Amino acid sequence: MAPDPFILSVGVVIMSYAVLATSWNFVGGFTGYISLGHAAYSGLGGYATGLLIIHTGINPWLALLAGGAVVALLAVPIGIASLRVRGASFVIVSIALVLILLLVFQSWGSFTGGSNGLRVPRPFDTSVLRPEQHERFFYLHAALLAVLLLAWWAIDRSRFGMGLKAVREDEDKAQALGVPTFTYKLVAFVVSAFFTALAGGLYALWFGYLDPIFQFSILVGSYMVLMSLLGGIRSLFGPLLGAVIVGYAVEYFKNQYGDTQFHLVAMGLLLALVVLFMPDGIIPALGQLVQRFRPQAASIREMTAEDLAEQRRTQDAADEAGAPTTTSERTDRETEGVRP
């Protein structure tokens, strides 16, 4: 329904942000570990997909899946090393990783293209025009997002998800109760890296060009955190809602103010407002607001006059017949004001 290709491309960007934020939420929302360097896995996924197509000539969609698998394997030793620290130390480690990868991919020009970037072959032939490509990739991102939401929903209701949420609330207590906290964290970390790599690879196939400065940017990882926090990291659709708001705002400010850094100022102000007034995100805040105006359940069972009269007649008949009265029945009658 987009009136022009530009609006449709903005829709693809927003959907890509939604996939990235939901992928980040597998580790941030379940375990509470805040990673500002998750752009490392999206960048690796993009480069892995592009390099596999260029150097092996395999099908682009197989390259996308293979690139995600390669990044998942790399995430295992990275997770083993980084998940041994918590809090601010984990944040610093995640930032250090993305900066190291930025330097490596900029310097290794013979393999990655270096600062000149890497051109990724398009998965569709030249007969498919750019607007039609935008439309196809919009639906491809939507399909990947649906898989992510289904996986997040399934984990949230599983025993594994309960263990992850126990880690988020109190990791030491969860470990004392027998939860294999490190194994659970590592699995969530690898799953998050895999889906983030798929998002990066799909973006590479759509955009057709990779620049290490953008692919391994702390700003991209910060956007993932902002979008998840804005919508609510503990809710299924929180990152999606945050991606719609942040993605649209970023593209709007870029279109209105060009290459200025005004969109960064706006995002900083938005993050400050969220932290101050809605620390749990928009969806939990709206849920609490609805709960506040919802009528509270009565603590005593309510009965109509007809029900009360019928109960009295039944009890009188039982008394005349000499039927015993149970303690629970006496308690109910005393609570409702009925004389035994």
Sorting pLDDT into bands at 50, 70 and 90, what band is 198? Answer: very high
SS3 content of the chain, % helix, strand, coil (to 5): 75, 0, 25
Q: What is the pLDDT of residues 304-328, one digit of tens each?
A: 667 777 778 787 777 776 655 444 4
What does the block give as tokens for 326?
């149970």
* Separation CA 275–CA 277 (nearest Å): 6
pLDDT of 111 strictly over 50: yes
Most confident stretch, 169-173, 248-252, 265-269: 169-173
Across the range 271-289, mean pLDDT stands at 81
> What Å distances lie between residue 223 and 175, 212, 271, 275, 327, CA to CA?
32, 17, 10, 15, 62
Across the range 331-339, mean pLDDT stands at 48
pLDDT of 186 strictly over 90: yes
Across the range 34-49, mean pLDDT stands at 94
pLDDT of 59 strictly over 70: yes
CATH numeric code, 5-291:
1.10.3470
Q: What does the mean pLDDT of the chain come to?
A: 86
* Separation CA 301–CA 317 (nearest Å): 23
% residues pLDDT > 70 (the chain): 90
Sorting pLDDT into bands at 50, 70 and 90, what band is 79? Answer: very high
- For 313, residues 6+ apart whose C-beta sits below 8 A from its C-beta are none
pLDDT of 279 strictly over 90: no
C-alpha gyration radius of the chain: 27
Sorting pLDDT into bands at 50, 70 and 90, what band is 269? Answer: confident
* Separation CA 110–CA 202 (nearest Å): 24
Domains in the chain: boundaries: 5-291, 307-333
Across the range 198-226, mean pLDDT stands at 92
* Separation CA 201–CA 196 (nearest Å): 9
Q: What is the pLDDT of residues 155-166, one digit of tens each?
A: 999 999 999 999
Across the range 20-32, mean pLDDT stands at 94
What does the block give as tokens for 143?
């399909």
pLDDT of 69 strictly over 90: yes
Sorting pLDDT into bands at 50, 70 and 90, what band is 338? Answer: very low
User: What's residue 194's pLDDT?
Assistant: 97
Closest CA to 53 of 123, 130, 140: 123
